[in-house]
Structure 1
């Protein structure tokens, strides 16, 4: 079974995964949505960290460190960011983090990742604007999305025929032009939200 959800708050995500395990759905993978396997209902503890590694050896050492402490790495890759751990030793601690500062650190790393993703779009946006592929002025003047010569000087039936014919193309053009600015804005909003969670977690 595969489910699609989006979380910035890791605590809410952990709670949801806990409820899924109690219903008999064990997390197998988190890449294209959440992939679950049917299993016996289990009252288990799942914790999430956020880390990206440059070297596979560092990633293996990271997983081994937690597994030696009673936590099994159940999903996540070297460059995936989100890392999922399941408590397998009853005698281990109830959290994978020893203090609030280290626990809050995952939100700081997540916030930085969103900022980086937002700015990776910037060179592409500038290039498309300077080559007139994208005209952001269409945000305040939607008429620019219509490329039919003399469209706005037409009247009567000829205007409506031309207008209705091009409108689907104009809408598609508008969606394409807006995609990059919208994605950059969303990533920056997510970064701010993650940073707020970082500040709250640090003080908890």
Structure 2
């Protein structure tokens, strides 16, 4: 079974989406090189997947990182020294054993990395959004390119409006990515602060 991932921005939702398939009796056999597609295989065992976010690592640090989790039974599915996102899978052993991080400090670090990942992912889209706003491309008058659209009436207006709306929404892609990344970063920050305040 092949599935495409639409949660590239939101790591937590992507992880939840993947585990939904694993709970139905599947395991992941392949993650495509662009991490947008997954190949699943039926299995009799229950599996769990976790996604970790890390800064770029040197080769030695990357090998140590992988060995550390492999010692605890995790299989490395996809990622690279500079990818930011790393996919791990293992046979489910229960609530605590199915977590990548066993202590509060590691969990805090995870949420901090997730915040950074979200912000770095959003940065180029933020720059593009600023350029589009400055050019006026995202104003209602300029988003729809049909000349005289707002002066049309009746069915002619609705036909032109409905035809061009998907293209106009594509122009909002960059700002929507920025908003989505900001929401994920804030939710990660909230979890980070909650852990920091625990005694």
Does TM, normalized by the shorter one, top 0.5?
yes
- Counterparts in 2 of 1:198 and 1:13: CA distance versus 1, 3 Å: farther
Q: Who wins on radius of gyration, i.e. which is larger?
A: 1
Superposed, 1:65-76 pairs within 5 Å as: 65-67=68-70, 69-76=71-78
Q: How many residues of Structure 1 are paired with residues of Structure 2 in the alignment?
A: 186
Q: What is the alpha-carbon distance in structure 2 between the residues aligned to residue 118 and residue 46 of structure 1?
A: 25
Partner of 1:163: 157
Three-state SS of the structure 1 residue aligned to 2:172 is helix
CA RMSD of aligned residues (A): 3.7
Contact 2:143/2:168 (<8 A) preserved:
no
Relative to structure 1, the CA distance from residue 183 to residue 150 in structure 2 (aligned partners, 3 Å threshold; closer, same or farther) is: closer
Specify whether residues 29 and 161 from structure 1 end up closer, same or farther in structure 2 by C-alpha distance, changes over 3 A only.
Answer: same
CA 114–162 in structure 1, closer or farther in 2 if over 3 Å, else same:
same
For structure 2, the residue ranges without an aligned partner over 5 or more in a row are: none
Are the counterparts in 2 of residues 46 and 85 from structure 1 also a CA contact under 8 Å? yes
Deviations 1:140-177 (A, max 9, x none): xx69736424962x7xxxx4475345324541342123
Deviates more, 1:72-81 or 1:50-59: 50-59
Structure 1 unaligned blocks of 5 or more: none
Deviation for aligned residue 1:42: 1.5
Is the 1:75–1:85 contact (alpha carbons within 8 Å) kept by the matching residues of 2?
Answer: yes
Q: 1:49 to 1:198 in 2, by over 3 A?
A: same
Cα deviations across residues 31-78 of structure 1 (Å, max 9, x unaligned)? 224422233x124565443224244443222112222x3323331211
Could you tell me how far 1:110 is from its partner in structure 2? 1.2
User: Helix, strand or coil for the counterpart of 2:171?
Assistant: helix
Distance in 2 between the 1:10 and 1:163 partners? 39
1:86 corresponds to: 90
Task: Show the counterpart of 1:49.
Answer: 52
Q: In the alignment, what sits opposite 1:99?
A: 103
TM-score, normalised to structure 2's length? Answer: 0.70
Any idea what SS the aligned residue of 1:97 has?
coil
Partner secondary structure for residue 26 of structure 1? strand
What secondary structure is seen at the aligned counterpart in 1 of 2:101?
coil
Report the Cα distance in structure 2 between the residues aligned to 1:160 and 1:168, rounded to whole angstroms: 12
Inter-CA distance 179–47: structure 2 relative to 1 (3 Å threshold): closer
